[in-house]
Chain A
Amino acid sequence: MKKFRFQLIALALVVSIFTLAACGGTATTTTTAAGGETTTAAPDESTDGSTDGGAAIKIGGIGPLTGAAAVYGNAVYNGSKIALEEINALGDLQFELNFQDDEHDGEKAVNAYNTLKDWGMQILNGTVTTTPANSVTPEAFADRIFTLTPSASSPTVVEGKDNVFQLCFSDLNQGIAAAQYIADNKLGEKIAIIYNNADAYSTGIYEKFVSEAEAKGLEIVSTTTFTDETNDFTVQLTEAQNNGADLLFLPIYYQPASLVLSQAQAMSYETKVFGVDGMDGILTLENFDTTLAEGVMLLTPFVADATDERTVSFVEKYKEQFDEVPNQFAADGYDVMYALYEAAKKAGVTADMSAEEINDKLIEVFTSDDFSFDGLTGSGMTWSDTGEVSKEPKGMVIENGAYVGM
């Protein structure tokens, strides 16, 4: 009897350990990163370039290539690769990219960072997600390696670090922009919010949204939460419905959002839905019934079916090479490489400079008044001294399964 009880307790312990591991959103294997897959400058092409004798500036990348968050890491990596090919083909400055897997885990991200440092990284393109970024950016700050993150959006990523910059909106700006957008366009008065309280991204947007919404006179009638592993949202939706919400604000990623939408429909609950950039991707979700997302509004910096020349060419290349429609993260990765390219050109960075020299030059360019960058995710981007980007969010609404500008 005693022995049996002991066994059960041991089992309970094992389960709790297992649960913790699962909460980390990991899928562990000793993945030998996709590094090494580098594109080096084509030395035989005797264009004017090669002032550095074919030497390339070494750019390190860190992001989740496996595990639950792999979709973001792979998108950034793929987008960066496309930009890399284009940049190297321009023949001006040569870049080399070494992208390491962090499995969306802070500790592994630091290991990846150290691997890259040994490799001789001069600039960091990363990390893709916020949690690893919080572990890696202090290191990059101490080592004086210039860092431009494609998509780690929490304000904590750049806070107090003069050489860390964001290409994406910070969560603060998104929360504020969403509240302003809803108030200015009178999209709803009674607002229900469902957010993921296990996620820094979702919580960050939620907090700013609430304070701005109050200032704008919007009434928040229901606030409910969930965590990464939740798949039943009936309670959250019932509460929103009972409190008479006329607009549902979802500062969450598109996977849970797709469940929220399908369960709302199953409950016959009709409401306006407003999302943030994490909602982007819902239309490209394979086999997703897009009628569920009809009328969903969101703020996003990148739309794959935009008709400008650059986006069209990017989407075409991406589809050709990776057989899928690029999401916002892919565009972020692409833009990071180009922003680094333009800034490096402007600063006169060459491959033989030390990481610290490059760092100082790039900081100067990024914070200077006359540097602005046009990319896929916005035009006229400028950066503040704190490292946050300033660009205009685009309001989009889904009609007949496609994004339409509002």
Chain B
Amino acid sequence: MDFIAYLISGISLGSVYAIIALGYTMVYGIAKMLNFAHGDVIMIGGYVSFVATANLDLPPAVSIMIAVAVCTTLGIVIEKLAYKPLRAAPSLAVLITAIGVSYFLQNAALLIWSSNPKSYTSLFKFEPLKLLDGELTIASVTIVTVITGVIVMTTLSLIINKTKIGKAMRAVSEDKDAAQLMGIGVNKTITITFAIGSGLAAIAGVLLASAYPILTPTMGAMPGIKAFTAAVFGGIGSIPGAMLGGILLGVIEILGRAYISTQLSDAIVFSVLIIVLLVKPTGLLGKKISEKV
């Protein structure tokens, strides 16, 4: 019975990782850059929805919409100001910039909302699901997170594979220069990618804060890194891979903590990542791309 309970909390944690990882993997897959500031956009999303519900007394649905709108705008602004001027620069420069943006966002949040942590009230207040005479409880936020994860994954796959903008994204991902020659607006496509990724980050922020209700300016950093791990684990660039990687990572973390050691759970998670990468360098669902040099 305990095992099932642990499994459920693993899936709960993992589906939060998964939604964050979806944003990571999409931006990496298309713009070929690691947006380390993604975790901090999540934090901003959490704070914005907090302000909307706790300070402005708006209904949950409206607060989520405001958070999505703010984060989408933020994503576009960050892309325009920080990443676009570096389009031709080496990827390492972009990576360092992303880390800089991450710290900038953390400290901006520190200025706006102060260092005092805030307690978030879960937006999903319906009764938890009780199974087997109440021996097994599934929290409402877990159900919402898993469902949201699946919806987001499906929608993203559809956008990328079935729409015109998706086609442009795939083209940019494959070869930026060739795409440009074919008349595809590379900058516009990348901006849209960032907008979608940041909007997703807002949703992830609301879910993360609902599941673990404490807001601090650094709350996005660790989940961001775990989600990045999840994205690599599942095969970076692959949308279903991010979902699978996220959930597996959460389950491994919780089961490792329960049955091996509470102290070593993070070490276990990262060891699994290393083993997977040694056996399957492209991750679980990663595509094998042979690069011609």
Query: Could you tell me if A255 and B117 are in contact, using CB atoms closer than 8 angstroms?
Result: yes
Interface residue? A71 (CB, 8 A): yes
- Give CA–CA (A68, B229) in the complex, Å: 23
Interface residue? A350 (CB, 8 A): no
Known: A3-B293, A5-B281. A287 touches B5 (CB 8 A): no
Interface residue? A111 (CB, 8 A): no
The stretch that binds B, out of A8-16, A38-46, A145-153, is A8-16
- Which of A8, A12, A25, A232 gathers most chain B CB within 10 Å? A232
Question: Within the complex, which residue of A27, A29, A74, A229 is in contact with B222, where a contact is CB–CB below 8 Å?
Answer: A229
Query: Could you tell me if B5 and A238 are in contact, using CB atoms closer than 8 angstroms?
Result: yes
A62-88 interface mask toward B, CB cutoff 8 Å, 1 = contact, 0 = none? Answer: 000011101100100000000000000
- Give CA–CA (A29, B218) in the complex, Å: 14
Known: A3-B293, A235-B254, A266-B128. A11 touches B232 (CB 8 A): yes
- Give CA–CA (A46, B289) in the complex, Å: 82
Query: Could you tell me if B290 and A15 are in contact, using CB atoms closer than 8 angstroms?
Result: no
A17-29 interface mask toward B, CB cutoff 8 Å, 1 = contact, 0 = none? Answer: 0110010010111
- Give CA–CA (A67, B218) in the complex, Å: 8
- Give CA–CA (A261, B258) in the complex, Å: 19
| Residues of chain A within 8 A of B104, CB atoms compared | 29
Query: Could you tell me if B212 and A232 are in contact, using CB atoms closer than 8 angstroms?
Result: yes
How many B residues touch A, CB cutoff 8 Å? 61
| Residues of chain B within 8 A of A368, CB atoms compared | none
A235-269 interface mask toward B, CB cutoff 8 Å, 1 = contact, 0 = none? Answer: 11011001000000000000100110010001110
Known: A18-B99, A66-B110, A266-B128. A27 touches B118 (CB 8 A): no
Question: Within the complex, which residue of A22, A67, A234, A259 is in contact with B6, where a contact is CB–CB below 8 Å?
Answer: A234
Query: Could you tell me if A266 and B137 are in contact, using CB atoms closer than 8 angstroms?
Result: yes
List B210-255 residues whose CB lies under 8 Å from chain A. 211-214, 216-218, 221-223, 225, 228-229, 232, 253-254
Query: Could you tell me if B107 and A66 are in contact, using CB atoms closer than 8 angstroms?
Result: yes
List B165-202 residues whose CB lies under 8 Å from chain A. none
Question: Within the complex, which residue of B117, B262, B273 is in contact with A224, where a contact is CB–CB below 8 Å?
Answer: B262
| Residues of chain A within 8 A of B54, CB atoms compared | 286-287
Known: A4-B291, A12-B277, A27-B103. A70 touches B110 (CB 8 A): yes
Known: A27-B103, A227-B266. A238 touches B110 (CB 8 A): no
Query: Could you tell me if B274 and A12 are in contact, using CB atoms closer than 8 angstroms?
Result: yes
| Residues of chain A within 8 A of B217, CB atoms compared | 27, 68
Question: Within the complex, which residue of B119, B221, B228 is in contact with A287, where a contact is CB–CB below 8 Å?
Answer: B119
Query: Could you tell me if B119 and A226 are in contact, using CB atoms closer than 8 angstroms?
Result: no
Question: Within the complex, which residue of B2, B232, B253, B291 is in contact with A1, where a contact is CB–CB below 8 Å?
Answer: B291
Query: Could you tell me if B291 and A3 are in contact, using CB atoms closer than 8 angstroms?
Result: yes
Query: Could you tell me if A14 and B225 are in contact, using CB atoms closer than 8 angstroms?
Result: no
- Give CA–CA (A262, B120) in the complex, Å: 11
Query: Could you tell me if A27 and B213 are in contact, using CB atoms closer than 8 angstroms?
Result: no
| Residues of chain B within 8 A of A229, CB atoms compared | 221-222, 266
Interface residue? A288 (CB, 8 A): yes
5 A–B contacts from the bound complex (CB under 8 Å): A8-B282, A68-B115, A74-B115, A225-B263, A232-B9
> Residues of A with Cβ closer than 8 Å to B?
1, 3-5, 8-9, 11-12, 14-16, 18-19, 22, 25, 27-29, 66-68, 70-71, 74, 197, 224-227, 229, 231-232, 234-236, 238-239, 242, 255, 258-259, 262, 266-268, 284-289, 324
The 7 closest A-B pairs by CB, nearest first: A70-B115, A288-B119, A229-B222, A231-B212, A234-B9, A286-B118, A71-B115
